[in-house]
Amino acid sequence: MTVDLSTIIAARNADTPESRAAEEHDRADPLAGLRARFALPDGEIYLDGNSLGAMPKAAPEIMAGEMEAGWGRDLIRSWNSRDWHMLPVTAGDRLAPLMGAQPGEVLVADSTSVNLYKLACAALHMRPGRETIISEANNFPSDIHILQGIVRDMFAGKRIALAGDDDESVLALLDADTALVCLSHVNYRTGRLRDMARLTRAAHDAGALVIWDLAHSLGALPVDLNGCEADFAVGCSYKYLNGGPGAPAWLFVARRHLAAARNPLTGWQGHATPFAFDIDYRPAETIEKFRCGTPPVLAYLPLLESLSIFRRTGMEALREKSLALTGSFIKLCDGMLAGHGFELVTPRAEVERGSQVALTHENGWPIMQALIAAGVIGDFRAPDILRFGFTPLYTSHADVWGAAATLAAIMETGFWKDPAFTARKLVT
């Protein structure tokens, strides 16, 4: 049976009590005006901001201006006249309020994996004589890969213990031998939110240090690293922070640890006086000690523009909208997808939920490809997870209704069974 795509599109454009309720929510939404500051294709519903955030509309003009005036006209003088050299610190200070950090505690540089390497090595040096690193079995693989490489190449004798998705399984592993706890605040697969304050306090009670990976939480929900007395944190800036593909990542070091924490990647930009060109390394005494090489100047510009949009609201308001969006999607899926073989793996409890909803289905891959063909952009994570990210800066309640209605139509018509949707792609 061949199903016409127009049939699927018509389902989400139908005038129903649910669609009218969604439109009413959008009219009353105090954050609705922020959507216009992002480039979102007409006719599509974008629910993949937990993987790649939408582009701030002003980003192309800003980048073009910097290329023309900075690179094209001022050339190398721009490192001073346009403060290019200080972008890692400037961006870090602007990002800090979103995570409950102070100026001088955040550096925007390198990738999340590289920054995790830096901080994990620093933390392990600060806890000599302790042999256990606690992480989680369903952590983002790169986090585990970095820890495995550190143990193999730098800290022979250390061991990695992997907890489950629940907080209790982390607490059960803590003991006097624990050096470091490395966890994701929000699980990338399920959207489960961990209790940062409780786990940090328990790790400290055991004498351990903690690194939080905030890649799937920062920009979508309130984070208070200093309020929780967190030690270290890392994250990317291209998801909910909308910094663009491959945008520089960031790291956080609590001020109380800056003196003791050592960067294992002793690149020239982390030197106390990099332009003295001293052949002997002497680290900076500030967060700049965690710099390595020359910053990719143009890559910072979309992030800075996105952060200017964040200044127009507050994280509590964004969290309130996020919970409304995810809660509505879960409710709609409960009713519209019943009997179609889906299972919700995201916690229903708001206190345990990030800003995404994850469903499992044995035919998850072709179903997601059918959704994308119908103009609803989510993503797939092996082996069977369909992920939907809700970015409160630009996701609307109408998007929520449209996505649920489209998914229901795809299942009811069998549209997903088209053989074209079975072909696997390199990037999922």
Enumerate the active-site residues. 140, 213, 238-239, 387
**357 exposed, middle or buried (CB, 10 Å; 0-12, 13-18, 19+)?**
buried
Is residue 166 within 8 Å of 335, Cβ to Cβ? no
Distance CA 355, CA 205 (A): 30
CA angle 353, 386, 401 (to 5 degrees): 75
Distance CA 111, CA 109 (A): 7
Pairing of strands 232-235, 250-253: antiparallel
Tell me the residue type at 337. Answer: L
Distance CA 208, CA 202 (A): 9
* H helix runs in 265-396, sequence order: 297-310, 315-336, 364-373
Tallying the residues shown for the chain, one arrives at 428
Is residue 42 within 8 Å of 397, Cβ to Cβ? no
